[in-house]
Amino acid sequence: MEYRVETDSLGDVRVPKNALYGAQTQRAINNYPISGRPLQPALITAYLRIKQAAARANAECKALRPEQGKAIEKAVEQLFSKTYRNRWQEIFPVDPFQAGAGTSTNMNFNEVIATLANQNLGSNAKADLKIHPNDHVNRSQSTNDTYPTAMRLALLDVSRELVESAEKLAQSFQNKTDQWKDIPKSGRTHLQDAVPISLGQEFSGYAATLKRCQGWLSESRDHLRELGIGGSAVGTGITTPARYRSLMITELSKVTGEKLRSASNLFEVMQSQAAISYYFGAVKILALELTRISNDLRLMASGPATGLNEIFLPAVQPGSSIMPGKVNPSILEMLNQTCFYVLGLEQTATFSTQAGQLELNVMMPILCHSTIEGTSLISRAITVLRTKCLDGIKPNRAKLKKYFESSSQIATALSPRLGYQQTAELVKEAVTKDISVVDLVRQKKLIPETELRKLLDLDTLIGKNR
């Protein structure tokens, strides 16, 4: 490979001849060969938007000459084009596991944009128009206010899809609730038979849970709209022009479509990344609830001969390399594994949030990577769950009816009439003789048939009359 020599404050660095980045990016490549993972597209998009907005704001504040501002803007527009977007992994190669605060990432953007801007200006451009990564692309900025701003913008971007996915999933569960409201089944607590319920009622609980999670996600997203841009290095706004902060909020609101606002205390948003943790806490709750619901569905679908076999899941792949005809709850297993991984990412985010010192949380790179990855993964998993599993679930009506009628806990409806003790004795006898409690009550003629039918009316049993 051919190289060129670039220089930064530490000295000379060899950089691939045709690379758009410079010395500081190359140092990061050399120093941090950790995961081999690229920056997420959402973070790249957010950072480019910040650099473009800053060029406009600085030009309007006369902190940059108009020609310089336009050159930076044009370079950013190029990076958004298909030609360059397909090369993002090559152009922005800094590993997410890097030095604290994200300085390497910020300088990667500064160097690339400066290189492109200068290429566009041409070799004949006046020396005082040349674009410098720090003096011009990074004008009025610091890693310490751009990186947390980019993190918030990226999360607002990817979480929008998550909120929509959660809403659609809740609606899918609600559709099952409406379809199955009159299908009786045996309720279970402690994995033991409990009082009757309808299949629709059971699924209504899932629908309500997911609707609530979607609400928490929406509410927590609002805290991401509060930005510290313009705070510069520690929150004082050093080196920033007077109108820069408000212009940045206006420009970024315009390009993101989000109602962004400046933080009321720039020192707080520099020191603390609690807003990120608050948002990802809502993602954690969603992952916990999805795990629970997935486990329930797997249990209800277990069998078919030796499990509950109450619902039929869509078959998406053969379940075994050795057992012909076996079909597994594959989509639900994928969902469980995704949720476990996201919960691990949430632990990383939690530790990162508490790891700041004094004026800055330096653990932002891994906090950012974890929360964006977790958001994207769970969003895609939810969509696959809905389209490849949930929408195609069918009830096993015969099995549900059998369990409903044979469960001894249907006797709970008779206890106000017979008393707790006598009903408990009947349940014990019915289990011993392997007959239904209802049949035993009929044999013993303990309750007149008309009254018995009224007590065992489905709508009464599942609470529709209350």
Q: Write down the pLDDT at residue 411.
A: 86
Cβ neighbours for 179, distance < 8 A, ≥ 6 positions apart? 200
Q: What is the pLDDT of residues 192-241, one digit of tens each?
A: 999 999 999 999 999 999 999 999 999 999 999 999 999 999 999 999 99
11 alpha carbon, distance to own chain's centre? 42
Q: What is the pLDDT at residue 405?
A: 83
pLDDT (0 to 100) of residue 466: 63
Domain annotation for the chain: domains and CATH numbers: 3-139 (1.10.275.10), 145-398 (1.20.200.10), 408-461 (1.10.40)
Kindly list the distances between the CA atom of residue 333 and the CA atoms of 259, 296, 330, 339, in Å, as whole numbers in the listed order.
38, 12, 5, 10
Q: Which residues of 182-216 are buried (b: 16+ CB within 10 A; e: fewer)?
A: ebbbbbbeeeebebbbbbbbbbbebbebbbebbeb
pLDDT tens string 384-411: 999 999 999 999 999 999 898 888 888 8
Catalytic residue among 142, 246, 320, 370: 320
Active site residue 320: yes
Q: For the segment 238-266, what is each residue's pLDDT rounded down to a tens digit? A: 999 999 999 999 999 999 999 999 999 99
Q: How would you write the pLDDT of the chain (466 residues) with one tens digit per residue? A: 899 999 999 999 999 999 999 999 999 999 999 999 999 999 999 999 999 999 999 999 999 999 999 999 999 999 999 999 999 999 999 999 999 999 999 999 999 999 999 999 987 778 888 999 999 999 999 999 999 999 999 999 999 999 999 999 999 999 999 999 999 999 999 999 999 999 999 999 999 999 999 999 999 999 999 999 999 999 999 999 999 999 999 999 999 999 999 999 999 999 999 999 999 999 999 999 999 999 999 999 999 999 999 999 999 999 989 999 999 999 999 999 999 999 999 999 999 999 989 999 999 999 999 999 999 999 999 999 999 999 999 999 999 998 988 888 888 889 999 999 999 999 899 889 988 888 999 999 999 999 999 988 888 888 876 6
Q: What is the pLDDT of residue 458?
A: 83
- Which pLDDT value is given to residue 436? 86
pLDDT for the residue numbered 465 = 63
